[in-house]
């Protein structure tokens, strides 16, 4: 069964009285275990799409089935529930909470899920091991490099054992060497743990780490193709 | 749903991150609670002091004075001469609820012994007066009813006289001159200390009422007295005694129905009540002022929480993205406000207790920090936290995660 199934999704914003059609009828589906890169120029609607896939926003029209549940019309608090069980987020700006250790940042999603403290710590530690940062668990974000911060963020996205990881320009703030390390980590998570990964990027090099590339332009699907491995 | 203990931990962490601001925010509550605690303590202390001072006078005492007791100058001593010595004897004899009744006549006189002299207060009364006042003698004896009948020239002196005129030597049997009347000292009063008004109660000589009126003051109406001091059988008999005295004197003074009494009976508890209600009004006013500062403190909390919500918009966005519900966010900010206000409340209580202590030791005032005032001010500060924390928390919970995440 497909994990993500969007069907004729439209999203219309009202910005200062002007209607903006960010998404104009987009359909595709992503199966479990895929690693998809979504590409497009800014304003192409890829961020809007990611917000909808990430259950941070509802589509104006069309349906979105996530893991067999129609989430396109769910209320905000139900969406929060879906998010914490199904989706792990990785952001361009890392978005770790300052003044909290790496371990506590990774624990955070489990906190909102109601996982007990001892179990939370254990699983957060495991997640940090998976991204190779177990020896940095008590460092605060400002004591970590950009790449390390992003790895903590990835560990956080693993914390709730969500099947889907959404990464919004995960390498946008990193140098090319670190970017490559982060992408290899994603590939690893995809191949070893079977995580479904959807990343938004505008760098072709990073997009090529995925198995499939969906391109957007002006709120419409431009192309959808598998990456040819040399 | 996140558990409350975790929320408290998260909130404490957020408050710690901004120590100075948190402390300043609390300050309003601290000052308000401190003021409330101190005002209550001082007010309670004043009431205790009043009760104690009156209790030292005896709680089952009634005072009968001439005049209606209403209007200016209505009970001015010396101008109305309606109470006579016989009234006191009649009250003692005929009122079952009365244990003792003593007529009292006052005056001031220069006391001379040898070549020393000292101004003192002369109280003319009967032996019952000592029983009414619960006064004991340090030495010697009290004059008798026989002495009263015969207007004998004997007296009992207070400790001040003893000190001033006799240098503490035993004065018994010595003769002093009171307005040129030679009086023999037959007893010395125990130490009485200051009265509630700050008068020296020991600067007194007590003589038979007849001696005072006829011989010392040569009163034109040697029967009429300034007041009659009455002691009821017990505190519970005060009202009955008061009624009996009024009935008796109405008959004795031939007051017709419809006419106003020419005397007034009052009991001390009425004085206590009126004095207490005066301090209570004052205390309430001060507490109201303190309450206003608590309110201002609450508004301060709301202000800071609103700033905090704006500042931490991104944090709120992150928390929402990884699964926090609106309720979780709301709870977090509400708990932060509550912790601020309760911590402020506790600090205020501690400082209030300390401040009360400083006042009591510094000014010598009686203060009492009552548990009521602690519970009340703590409860009120918690209420302020919830009340003023609710709006910012609610605002935080309404943020859209997308907007919040985009916030720089």
Hey, how many other C-beta atoms are within 10 angstroms of the C-beta on A122? 12
Confidence grade of residue B234 (pLDDT, cut at 50, 70, 90): confident
Do the chains contact at A112 and B2, CB–CB below 8 Å?
A: yes
CB-CB neighbors (< 8 A) of B3 in chain A: 114
Q: Give the mutation candidate from B12, B323, B325, B327 for the A interface (greatest A CB count, under 10 A).
A: B323
Do the chains contact at A57 and B402, CB–CB below 8 Å?
A: yes
Residue with tokens 């009624």: B243
* pLDDT tens digits along A4-59: 999 999 999 888 888 888 899 999 999 999 999 999 888 888 888 999 999 998 89
Confidence grade of residue B67 (pLDDT, cut at 50, 70, 90): confident
What is this structure's pTM?
Answer: 0.71
Q: Using CA atoms in the order B275, B278, B283, B284, what is the torsion angle rounded to 10 degrees?
A: 140
Six token digits for residue A161: 């054992």
**In residues, how long is chain A?**
230
Q: Give the residue among B205, B385, B389, B394 at the shortest CA–CA distance from B316.
A: B394
Whether B393 contacts B340, CB under 8 Å:
no
In whole numbers, what is the pLDDT of chain A averaged over residues? 91
Q: What is the pLDDT of residue B16?
A: 84
* pLDDT tens digits along A103-118: 999 999 998 888 888 9
Is the pLDDT at B133 greater than 70, yes or no? yes
Hey, how many other C-beta atoms are within 10 angstroms of the C-beta on B79? 10
CB-CB neighbors (< 8 A) of A88 in chain B: 322
Strand partners for A166: A89, A198
Confidence grade of residue B167 (pLDDT, cut at 50, 70, 90): confident
Query: Helix, strand or coil for residue B107?
Result: strand
Is the pLDDT at B1 greater than 60, yes or no? no
**Distance (Å) from the alpha carbon of A95 to chain B's nearest alpha carbon:** 7
Q: Domain A2-226 in CATH: superfamily? A: P-loop containing nucleotide triphosphate hydrolases (3.40.50.300)
In whole numbers, what is the pLDDT of chain B averaged over residues? 86
CB-CB neighbors (< 8 A) of A51 in chain B: 402
Largest CA distance in chain B: 107
Do the chains contact at B319 and A112, CB–CB below 8 Å?
A: yes
Alpha-carbon dihedral sign for residues B239, B245, B246, B251: positive
Compute the distance between CA of residue B173 and CA of residue B114 in angstroms, rounded to an integer.
Answer: 14
Domain locations in chain A? 2-226
Q: What is the pLDDT of residue B347?
A: 94
Compute the distance between CA of residue B64 and CA of residue B132 in angstroms, rounded to an integer.
Answer: 13
For β-strands A61-66 and A2-15, DSSP reports them as antiparallel
**CB nearest to A56's CB, from B3, B325, B401:** B401
CB-CB neighbors (< 8 A) of A100 in chain B: 13
Nearby residues of B84 by Cβ (< 8 Å), 6 or more positions away = B103, B223, B224, B225
CB-CB neighbors (< 8 A) of B404 in chain A: none
Q: What is the pLDDT of residue B195?
A: 67
**In residues, how long is chain B?**
408
Is the pLDDT at B72 greater than 50, yes or no? no
- Which runs of consecutive H residues, i.e. helices, occur in A12-55? 46-53
Do the chains contact at A54 and B321, CB–CB below 8 Å?
A: yes
* pLDDT tens digits along B319-337: 999 888 999 899 999 999 9
Average pLDDT of span A204-214: 93
Q: What is the pLDDT of residue B80?
A: 62
Residue with tokens 């004095």: B275
CB-CB neighbors (< 8 A) of A85 in chain B: 323
What distances in angstroms separate CA B301 from CA A22, B313, B390, one per listed residue? 41, 18, 11
Do the chains contact at A112 and B325, CB–CB below 8 Å?
A: yes
What distances in angstroms separate CA A137 from CA A118, A148, A181, B348, one per listed residue? 15, 11, 19, 39
Instruction: Give residue ranges of A with CB < 8 Å to any B CB.
Output: 51, 54, 56-57, 76-77, 80-81, 83-85, 88-89, 91, 95-97, 99-100, 108-109, 111-114, 117, 156, 160
Q: What is the pLDDT of residue B125?
A: 94
Strand partners for B103: B228
Higher-confidence residue of B274 and B367: namely B367
């Amino acid at each position: 069964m497909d994990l993500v199934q969007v069907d004729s999704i439209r999203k219309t914003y009202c910005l200062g009285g002007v209607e903006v059609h960010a998404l104009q009828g987009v359909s595709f589906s992503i199966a479990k275990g895929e690693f998809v890169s979504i590409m497009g120029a800014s304003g192409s609607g890829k961020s809007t799409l990611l917000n909808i896939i990430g259950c941070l926003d509802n589509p104006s029209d069309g349906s979105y089935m996530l893991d067999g549940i129609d989430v396109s019309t769910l209320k905000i608090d139900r969406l929060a529930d879906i998010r914490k069980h199904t989706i792990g987020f990785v952001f361009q700006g890392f978005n770790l909470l300052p003044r909290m250790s790496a371990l506590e940042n990774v624990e955070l999603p489990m906190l909102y899920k109601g996982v007990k403290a001892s179990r939370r710590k254990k699983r957060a530690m495991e997640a940090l091991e998976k991204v190779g940062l177990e020896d940095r668990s008590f460092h605060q974000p400002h004591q970590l490099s950009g790449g390390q911060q992003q790895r903590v963020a990835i560990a956080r996205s693993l914390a709730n054992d969500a099947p889907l990881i959404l990464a919004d320009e995960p390498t946008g703030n990193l140098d090319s060497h670190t970017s490559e390390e982060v992408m290899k980590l994603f590939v690893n998570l995809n191949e070893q743990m079977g995580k479904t990964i959807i990343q938004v990027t505008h760098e072709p090099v990073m997009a090529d780490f995925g198995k499939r590339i969906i391109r957007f332009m002006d709120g419409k699907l431009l192309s959808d193709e598998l990456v040819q491995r040399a | 749903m996140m558990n409350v203990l975790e929320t408290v931990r998260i909130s404490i962490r957020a408050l710690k991150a901004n120590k100075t601001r948190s402390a300043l925010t609390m300050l309003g509550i601290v000052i308000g609670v401190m003021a409330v605690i101190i005002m209550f303590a001082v007010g309670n202390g004043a009431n205790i002091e009043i009760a104690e001072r009156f209790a030292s006078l005896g709680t089952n005492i009634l005072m009968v004075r001439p005049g209606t007791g209403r209007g200016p100058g209505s009970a001015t001593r010396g101008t109305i001469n309606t109470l006579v010595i016989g009234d006191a004897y009649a009250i003692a004899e005929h009122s079952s609820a009365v244990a003792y009744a003593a007529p009292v006549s006052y005056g001031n006189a220069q006391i001379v012994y040898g070549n020393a002299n000292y101004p003192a207060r002369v109280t003319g009364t009967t032996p019952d007066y000592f029983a009414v006042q619960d006064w004991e003698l340090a030495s010697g004896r009290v004059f008798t009813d026989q002495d009263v009948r015969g207007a004998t020239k004997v007296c009992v002196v207070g400790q001040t006289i003893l000190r001033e005129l006799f240098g503490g030597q035993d004065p018994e049997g010595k003769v002093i001159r009171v307005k040129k009347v030679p009086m023999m000292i037959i007893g010395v009063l125990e130490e009485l200390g200051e009265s509630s008004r700050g008068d020296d109660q020991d600067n007194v000589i007590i003589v038979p009422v007849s001696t005072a009126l006829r011989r010392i003051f040569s009163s034109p109406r040697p029967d009429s007295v300034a007041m009659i001091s009455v002691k009821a059988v017990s505190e519970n008999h005060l009202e009955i005694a008061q009624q009996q005295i009024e009935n008796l004197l109405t008959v004795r003074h031939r007051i017709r129905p419809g006419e106003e009494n020419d005397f007034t009976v009052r009991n001390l508890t009425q004085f206590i009540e009126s004095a207490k209600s005066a301090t209570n009004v004052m205390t309430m006013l001060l507490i109201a002022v303190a309450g206003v500062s608590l309110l201002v403190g609450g508004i301060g909390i709301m202000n800071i929480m609103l700033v905090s919500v704006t500042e931490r918009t991104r944090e709120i966005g992150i928390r929402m993205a990884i699964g926090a519900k609106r309720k979780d966010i709301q709870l977090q900010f509400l708990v932060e406000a509550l912790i601020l206000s309760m911590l402020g409340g506790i600090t205020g209580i501690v400082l209030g207790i300390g401040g009360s202590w400083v006042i009591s030791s510094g000014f010598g005032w009686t203060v009492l920090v009552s548990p009521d005032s602690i519970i009340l001010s703590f409860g009120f500060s918690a209420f302020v936290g919830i009340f003023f924390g609710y709006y910012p928390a609610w605002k935080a919970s309404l943020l859209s995660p997308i907007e919040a995440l985009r916030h720089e």
